[in-house]
Structure 1
Amino acid sequence: MDNTAKTIVCFGDSNTHGYNSATMGRFTEKERWPCLLADLLGPAYLVREEGLSGRTTSFEDPLFEGLSGFAAIHPCLMTHEPVDLLIIMLGTNDVKQRFAATPANIAKGMERLVTKAIHTTEAWRGKANILVIAPPPIEEGYKGTQIQGEMGIDCVEKSQAIIPLFREVAERLGCHFLEAASIPGMGMYPYDYMHLSLDSHRLLAERLAELIPGIC
């Protein structure tokens, strides 16, 4: 292992874990965006996958344990220290109807998460360096798919509304920001309309590979 390599932690949900809604399985290491990013960046970087299906910014899920990003971020960062860049792509699960959260509530969850990461000072190689990615919004086609009952109502609108709020949080807390939906060609698989397509994993990795050398 090259101890001079910069460590990047990719902290997210199923779209970081690599859920493949076409097969209800997982994309391979040759397909998931963190793995592709590692290949594109080369040996100067160590890219660590920390994706968990169902993870939220800060909400405790009443149906499944261990899904709060806020609760997990400290041990995650300490596991991979010293960390040079933390990439956070969360928010999609926060729009589930059972959380009854407004877009402003979800943005506050992201703010709590980022603030805790910043203050995990012993994990950083230098000062905190965080990239917040607003995930692509859920698409209308989700209605009638297998995830309609899981997500409930209003998830499309909320997933769209959190994008500018996440931008504001990132800018106010001194973080970098990327709107994933702004990447040309980005989209969801037409099996549930909330999980990244195979091409979108590649597109996200390529965009990050362009961006990261300028910030880390």
Structure 2
Amino acid sequence: MKKHIVCFGDSNTHGYCAKTGGRFDEDQRWTCLLQKKLGEDWLILEEGLSGRTTCFDDPIHEALSGLEQIYPCLMSHEPVDLLIIMLGTNDTKERFGVSPECIALGLKRLIAKAISTTDCWKDGKPSILVITPQNIDPRYENSEVGGTMGKGCAEKSQGLASEYQKIAESMGCFYLDANKVVTAQPNDVDFMHLTEEGHRQLADALAGLLPQILC
């Protein structure tokens, strides 16, 4: 059986393209590029939803809490060899009123829920890779999303890496900071979504990392 890799994230996993308002295609999204790089012995499962948070209910849009969706997601893809979680960008929105430390605690709740979904894991062994998303550029405040995102999002996003690493280590997860491998700047439309080059760089990094995790 192929190795099942569930990629659980937000719009940057779904593949939102800020320049078109649509979605990057199968030759551009990091998930699809990763599939091509790893080959037919791997199955990369896209579970990206725009607006998704770690555990916070959005008062404006429904069904965006990752905590509420992780169980059915994992069970629908069992047996799962590895869960990749890349969330936190949406948690920085001003309307949630949470700090980087609280966002990390939301991530911890999500990880705990995933680990407790015992029937989904191949051989009953949870395996999770936490990815800190690329930081939001401060220029987002003057973009088309500035009003809905609110103030302080860039500063919060910059504080996630250190907090996420501590949570990943304490929960027995693997860890990657996307800011260390994605050198391409965020797009110049909303300053918070990966560019096509950013997708490629993330896929390259994961193509090297995943075979080491699941050796």
TM-score (norm 2): 0.98
Check whether the contact 1:34–1:205 (CA below 8 A) recurs between aligned residues.
yes
Aligned to 2:206, the other structure's residue is in SS state: helix
2:184 aligns to what? 186
Letter in 2 for 1:214: Q
Letter in 2 for 1:80: H
- How far residue 162 of structure 1 moved from its aligned partner, in angstroms, is 1.3
Segments of 5+ residues of structure 1 without an aligned counterpart are none
Segments of 5+ residues of structure 2 without an aligned counterpart are none
**CA distance in 1: counterparts of 2:183 and 2:136, whole angstroms:** 15
2:154 aligns to what? 156
Letter in 2 for 1:69: G
Percent identity between the two aligned chains: 53
Aligned to 2:103, the other structure's residue is in SS state: helix
**Is residue 19 from structure 1 mapped to residue 16 from structure 2 by the alignment?**
yes
Q: How does 1:60-139 map to 2 (within 5 A)?
A: 60-126=57-123, 127-139=125-137
Check whether the contact 2:52–2:90 (CA below 8 A) recurs between aligned residues.
yes
2:208 aligns to what? 210
- How far residue 187 of structure 1 moved from its aligned partner, in angstroms, is 2.5
- How far residue 154 of structure 1 moved from its aligned partner, in angstroms, is 0.6
Q: How many residue pairs align between the two structures? A: 213
Identify the match of residue 197 of structure 2 among 196, 199, 204: 199
1:145 aligns to what? 143
Superposed CA offset, 1:148-207 (max 9, x none): 011100101100111100000000000000000001523311111000011000000010
Superposed CA offset, 1:32-74 (max 9, x none): 0001100000011000000000000000000000000000000
TM-score (norm 1): 0.97
**CA distance in 2: counterparts of 1:211 and 1:103, whole angstroms:** 26
Superposed CA offset, 1:87-131 (max 9, x none): 000000000000001111101000000011011010000200000
1:54 aligns to what? 51
